[in-house]
Amino acid sequence: MTDNISLTTLQQTQQTGSAGDYDYLTLDIAALSENKKINRYGYEVGVIRLLVPANTLSEVLRKFTLYPIPNTKEWLRGLVNLRGNLIPVYDVSMLFGMSDAPANYDSLLILDKGAEAVGILIDKLPVVCDLDNWQLLTDSVSDIPAIEQFISESYKKDDIIWSCFDHREYFRSIRNDVAS
């Protein structure tokens, strides 16, 4: 019996909604294909590289309107209206302590859907990571103490380390820290 898992796709779409025109890229993440090849998407935030968890719905918005929330920490940049759902948007370079100033990124990575959905400002589009050809490190690696306990495993490719980041647990853990 084989797993019934679709292959990774990347599709660019343009829509018009109540907030105006916006472009987005939809990423359909597949963990395994028939030959058990492991592909994931990875994204960069400053100097760290994080992998989107397997089987996580994600998409990238290129044009979006950000609605600020008063009396919150600066790293909670606001909310974005995604097809009628309000998604919190985080500047993780500030949140992780890598920057004191808000990032001016023009792309937004949306991870998950429903109550678990979060937006992360990014400056580069995610890349496909073929983990079969990467070295699995024996210890999880993170240079950022704020996320160290949320890294499940790390991989190395060409002397660059990519870490599997449990964004769900991390954003649950900071839920009560958003008020300024």
pLDDT at 178: 81
Domain boundaries, the chain: 9-175
- Could you tell me the two tokens for 61? 């918005």
Q: Which of 134, 175, 137, 136 is nearest to 157 (CA)?
A: 134
Could you please state the CATH topology (level 3) that the domain comprising 9-175 is classified under.
Answer: OB fold (Dihydrolipoamide Acetyltransferase, E2P) (2.40.50)
Distance (Å, whole) CA 54 – CA 56: 6
Distance (Å, whole) CA 164 – CA 52: 7
pLDDT at 34: 46
- Could you tell me the two tokens for 66? 């950000």
Side by side, the strands of the sheet bearing 118-122 are 9-17, 20-28, 58-61, 107-111, 118-122, 85-90, 76-82
Q: Which residues sit opposite 119 in a β-bridge?
A: 89, 110
Digit-by-digit pLDDT tens for the chain (180 residues) are 333 223 334 444 444 444 455 555 554 444 334 445 578 899 998 888 999 988 899 999 998 999 999 999 999 999 999 999 999 999 999 998 888 888 888 899 999 998 899 999 998 899 999 888 899 998 767 777 888 899 989 999 998 999 999 999 999 999 888 876
pLDDT at 147: 87
Distance (Å, whole) CA 119 – CA 96: 15
Amino acid identity for residue 79 in this structure: L
User: For 131-143, how does the pLDDT look when each residue is reduced to its tens digit (9 = 90+)?
Assistant: 888 999 987 677 7
- Could you tell me the two tokens for 91? 């500047």
pLDDT at 37: 59
Distance (Å, whole) CA 86 – CA 79: 6
Distance (Å, whole) CA 73 – CA 165: 22
